[in-house]
Amino acid sequence: MDMKKLAAGNWKMNGTRAALAEVDGLGSDRVEVLICPPATLIAPLADRGSRVLVGGQDCDARAEGAHTGDIAAAQLLDAGASHVILGHSERRADHGETDAQVAAKAVAAHQAGLVTIICVGETEAQRDAGETLAVIAAQLAGSVPDCATATNTVVAYEPVWAIGTGRTADASQIAEVHGAMRQTLAARFADADGMRLLYGGSVKAGNAAEIFAIPNVDGALVGGASLKAADFSPIIAALEAAQ
């Protein structure tokens, strides 16, 4: 399977409708470009006729019901989303999300027809303790459900210490983790070779080309540098050059 590489932007809790103009010039024929805005902006972005794919930043594991403030996967799809980020470290930290909850959300998302971007990553303390590969393997085992395929699942490696800090993992650290993730996934999934593995954590125009040259890096999950077209466009261009 020959999947296109993926440049995914995670706006987190940033932006109001005025920010959608940043997306108007984005898009690519050679790679997939995805913007995951706050939930309030999913439908307005999807309805804007832009060339980018639209995604949510979380969904509930349940299909519907009395769950104030939560959003079902089918509602994301109805709003125009094709993707959903699950298990981001900020949700694991802010909301205590466990691997099992992330996996349950992923099952619900797949049942609704969404592509999931399942996030894993070690803290600085875990890296310093030499636990990185074990932490990632455990998160993959617990967070990626058995129904995952190369078509419905993307995995994002985001070292927690590199998110929003300006620090990126170096090329050898990224290569080691991405290679290990590919092996771990291959032990469970026949089509793991086609599963896209994204790197995330302070990706920007200045380091994107180097990161995209690393084996088993099939794109990026970009936070801060996805908010402005002037910052995100060169990252998309670097991914096109690496495709």
Residue with tokens 């908010």, as numbered in its chain: 227
Q: Are strands 32-36 and 53-56 parallel, antiparallel or unpaired?
A: parallel
| Catalytic residue status for 88 | yes
Q: Which is nearer to ligand G3H, 57 or 75 (CB)?
A: 57
Q: Which of 15, 56, 159, 201 binds ligand G3H (CB under 6 A)?
A: 201
The residue of the chain with the least Cβ separation from ligand G3H equals 223
d(CA 202, CA 153): 23
**58-85 b/e (C-beta count within 10 Å ≥ 16 → b):** bbbbeeeeeeeeebbbbbbbebbbbbbb
Is 158 annotated in the active site? yes
In the chain, the N- to C-terminal Cα span, in Å, equals: 14
Which range binds ligand G3H by CB under 6 A, 46-54, 63-71, 145-153, 223-231?
Answer: 223-231
Judge whether 177 and 133 are in contact, CB under 8 Å: yes
The answer to whether the Cα torsion of 17, 46, 75, 150 is positive or negative is negative
| 219 has binding-site annotation | no
Q: How far is 61 from 70, CA to CA, in rounded Å?
A: 10
Minimum gap (Å) between residue 85 Cβ and ligand G3H: 7
Binding residue for ligand G3H (CB under 6 A) from 200, 212, 219, 232?
A: 200
Contact with ligand G3H (CB under 6 A): which of 25, 113, 164, 215?
164
Q: Residues 22, 32, 83, 88: which is the catalytic one?
A: 88
Instruction: Select 145 or 201, whichever has its Cβ closest to ligand G3H.
Output: 201
Q: Which residues are annotated as a binding site for substrate?
A: 10-12, 164, 202, 223-224
User: Applying CB under 6 A, which residues contact ligand G3H?
Assistant: 10, 88, 158, 163-164, 200-203, 221-225
